[in-house]
Structure 1
Amino acid sequence: MSLEQSHVVDAIGTARSDDSIVLNIIDSWSWENEGLHLAALQRKLNAYFEFVESKQILESCPEAKGRRLCINIISRFPTPEAGLKLLAAAAILAAELDIEIKHQVDSRSN
């Protein structure tokens, strides 16, 4: 999966720490073409929001009912300022849907 497949949820799991349901976005793209990357990440985030809002998540993961949700973006490359601004704006929208946004850079893949 990845940003190429904007309407596919990359991975769903349960966090050991708090039993929340985690929807992972695997972002392996470099930031050479920042505009393209931002647009792809925004499409992917919007698809995840729709996945939750439409209740498709309950069809794919019935144990999500009544549990805290988190979208975790796992990036291969450090995120530039424009990307961080997008994630901050997404976090505001996500909070309205009772979803937490997390972001991490997986330095092992570089």
Structure 2
Amino acid sequence: MSVEDKNVIDIITIGKEGTLVLTISDHLEWDDENEHLLLLQEKINSYLDFIENGQLVENYPDKADKKIMIQIVFKYYPNKTAEEFLAIVERFLNEKGVAFDFYKLEEE
């Protein structure tokens, strides 16, 4: 599962303070044509649909009262265009009551 599988929730965990964390696994390098950015946007929209259409509560009824966060784990740190996009995503999701976070996976 990855950012390329837009209709799949990659990982669901319970994070700090009991937050329900929906994680996007993103292994793609950044490109000048922004194709990666478009894939990421589709994946985020898919996650938001999963939340807003009630599928999350339907699939995890015991988690219905949890705060929700969408998190992205990147293999490659976002470029400037992606950072700007992620700032917009954060504001948009926060307005909908969904927390947002991202980080680059540290290499061993």
Paired letter, 1:9? I
Shift of the 34–75 alpha-carbon distance from structure 1 to 2, 3 Å rule, reads farther
Contact residue 6 and residue 43 of structure 1 kept, 8 A: yes
Runs of 4+ in 1 over 6 A off after TM superposition: none
Match of 1:104 in 2: 103
Match of 2:12 in 1: 12
Match of 1:48 in 2: 47
Cα shift at 1:64: 2.3
Cα shift at 1:107: 2.0
Deviation digits for residues 54-98 of structure 1 (CA, Å, limit 9, x no counterpart): 010012222321211001100000111111111111111111221
- Identity across matched positions, percent: 27
Cα shift at 1:34: 4.8
Could you list the runs of 5+ residues in structure 2 that have no partner in the other structure? none
Paired letter, 1:79? P
Give the match's secondary structure for 2:28.
Answer: coil
RMSD: 1.3
Match of 2:61 in 1: 62
Mapped to 2, the partners of 1:85 and 1:60 lie a distance apart of 33
Match of 2:26 in 1: 27
Mapped to 2, the partners of 1:93 and 1:60 lie a distance apart of 24
Mapped to 1, the partners of 2:80 and 2:25 lie a distance apart of 19
Match of 2:80 in 1: 81
Contact residue 77 and residue 107 of structure 1 kept, 8 A: no
Could you list the runs of 5+ residues in structure 1 that have no partner in the other structure? none
Mapped to 2, the partners of 1:102 and 1:70 lie a distance apart of 7
Paired letter, 2:78? T
Match of 2:91 in 1: 92
